[in-house]
């Protein structure tokens, strides 16, 4: 099943994608859907207002997750291109809900950074509360998968040994377009790509992940409770702009396309930040 959160004239609505139509399922967003027991069966049976998929304006699947936890250095190819050793544990950092964008929203390049980089990632959305879980328990708690581009301001990221300031810029992280339930995709073998203006920047398969989704979720659950709607970004493969020689970053007027097999694609135009107070 594919679910999405869309923007309508009266606010947001959670929908089920059925071919060329989207059917409202009776909630304002997927976060609300996941907070109810039996959400999958209820969503599959719902028969609300219908929309044409071609007309949809996507919001982030869960617009205000309680937690956004990201994994750095999790593809072997990316670890090697950045000159690092394979880590023994996941390298984690956090984002805030204010950093999220919809699947087709513009990425506003901040005037305070000139090193804006792409990072295509598999996103994991939690469907059941998880605490001190095993990997098998964590796998059963995953509601579905989505696409994330962890757009990073490298000049800010590298100001200190902590990455937060380069990873959590407001309205910088497109997510979506859908949440796809685990029965529809094999998260361990998905092709992933990232293009800029039609030129390939990243192309990999999730089989290259050092720590797979269930292991990451189980690890996180050892120190904090994961709740329905929480988002995990599982890391990016090789091909980022900062790993190139010379380095290459996003510019105004470019279009960033991020796609994962079975999960759709993000298509985001890069635009300059308007002049004025920041």
Convert the pLDDT of each residue in 112-164 to its tens digit.
Answer: 999 999 999 999 999 999 999 999 999 999 999 999 999 999 999 999 999 99
Which one-letter DSSP state was computed for residue 58? B
d(CA 105, CA 58): 8
Domains belonging to the chain, first-starting first, are 1-57 (2.30.30), 62-272 (3.90.850.10)
Q: How far is CA 276 from CA 110, 262, 272, 273, in A?
A: 12, 41, 12, 9
d(CA 206, CA 190): 5
3-state secondary structure (DSSP) of residue 276? coil
Tell me the pLDDT band of 176, cut-offs 50, 70 and 90: very high
Convert the pLDDT of each residue in 190-248 to its tens digit.
Answer: 999 999 999 999 999 999 999 999 999 999 999 999 999 999 999 999 999 999 999 99
> Could you check whether the bond before residue 156 is cis, i.e. omega within 30 degrees of 0?
no
Tell me the pLDDT band of 82, cut-offs 50, 70 and 90: confident
Map tokens 């997750």 to a residue: 65
Q: Is the pTM higher than 0.85?
A: yes
Closest CA to 143 of 73, 242, 39: 39
The pLDDT value given to residue 277: 58
CB-based burial, 46-60: b 16+ in 10 Å, e otherwise: beeeebebeebebbb
d(CA 189, CA 149): 19
Closest CA to 177 of 60, 14, 99, 262: 60
CA 29 to chain centre: 16
Convert the pLDDT of each residue in 37-57 to its tens digit.
Answer: 999 999 999 999 999 999 999
């Amino acid at each position: 099943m594919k679910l999405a959160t869309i923007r309508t004239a009266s606010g947001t609505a959670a929908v089920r994608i059925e071919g060329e139509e989207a059917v409202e399922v009776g909630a304002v967003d997927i976060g609300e859907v996941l907070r109810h027991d039996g959400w999958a069966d209820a969503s599959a049976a719902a028969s609300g207002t219908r929309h044409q998929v071609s007309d949809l304006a996507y919001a982030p699947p869960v617009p205000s997750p309680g937690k956004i936890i990201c994994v750095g250095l999790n593809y072997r190819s990316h670890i090697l291109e950045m000159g690092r050793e394979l880590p023994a544990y996941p390298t984690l950092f956090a984002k805030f809900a204010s950093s999220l964008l919809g699947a087709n929203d513009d990425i506003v390049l901040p005037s305070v950074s000139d090193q804006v980089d792409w990072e295509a990632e598999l996103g994991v959305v939690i469907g059941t509360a998880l605490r001190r879980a095993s990997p098998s328990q964590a796998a059963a708690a995953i509601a579905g998968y989505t696409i994330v581009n962890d757009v990073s301001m490298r000049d800010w990221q590298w100001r200190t040994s902590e990455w937060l300031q380069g990873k959590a810029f407001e309205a910088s992280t497109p997510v979506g377009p859908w949440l796809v339930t685990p029965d529809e995709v094999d998260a361990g073998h998905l092709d992933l790509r990232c293009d800029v203006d039609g030129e390939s920047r990243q192309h990999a398969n999730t089989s290259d992940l050092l720590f797979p989704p269930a292991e990451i979720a189980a690890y996180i659950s050892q120190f904090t409770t994961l709740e329905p709607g929480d988002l995990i970004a599982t890391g990016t493969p090789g091909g980022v702009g900062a790993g190139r020689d010379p380095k290459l970053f996003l510019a105004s007027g470019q279009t960033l396309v991020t796609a994962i097999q079975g999960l759709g694609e993000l298509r985001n135009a890069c635009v300059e930040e308007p002049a004025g107070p920041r």
